[in-house]
Structure 1
Amino acid sequence: LTLPRQAPGTPGTSNLGVFNTLAFYTQDMITFSEQWKALLGVRYDNFQQETQNRIAGQRNLSRTDTAWSPRAGLVWQPSKAQSYYVSWSKSFQPSGEAFALAANNADLAPETTNNTEVGAK
């Protein structure tokens, strides 16, 4: 197997990655009674990524991903010694956080995850 070689001193790539992120988050615990509480929250993310190709003839790539990530939970505390809860949340992971933009991955959508949890203590 023979691999192609670059001429000495000629880089195969010369990229500059530029990332800009902005996020807002708010959350509140609401007490309905001594036994019942709710947790509500939401996060907004704006993730901008650009790969500037500094070799002539190669195009720059960019993308912007935005998402709302909600969170909700309910707690029941029948006594001071025990509590039960259920919660749900949705999260967002832009592909640009894992790797630089390239022609073969610039169109990958962000990953989203739904998480549901039930517990007691």
Structure 2
Amino acid sequence: MWFDIDIRSPLPIYDQIKRGVREEILKERLKEGDTLPSIREMASQIRVNPNTVARAYRELEMEGIIMARQGLGYIVVSNRDQVRDSVFENLSAELREPLLRMKKSGISLERLLEVIEKIWKEIN
């Protein structure tokens, strides 16, 4: 298995699969043209219902990251730069509301950056 799935995480398993695939592309362990494990193979590896994997693959396909090919399975069709851009777009959308609340509360950008830097160092 390329990435870990945490069954105790509040993040749904299909989202963890999607994140894992994106991370593998960002780390260049998966590249354009690479084939993903079949739905059944992935489900067996991480011990989840195949429908969970199918949902993750379907959503990745709708996002243009992978594509189903008859006889070949699911193939990566996005490169690292495209996935990185997508990740930053999603991050911007997720951060917008909390940042707006902080700005309205009078928290300075400098203080916010200090907090981000502290957290960044803690997780490395």
TM value normalised by structure 1: 0.20
Query: Considering only CA atoms, is the larger Rg found in Structure 1 or Structure 2?
Result: 1
Higher helix proportion (structure 1 or 2): 2
**How does the TM-score come out when normalised to structure 2?**
0.19
Name whichever structure is richer in strand by fraction.
1
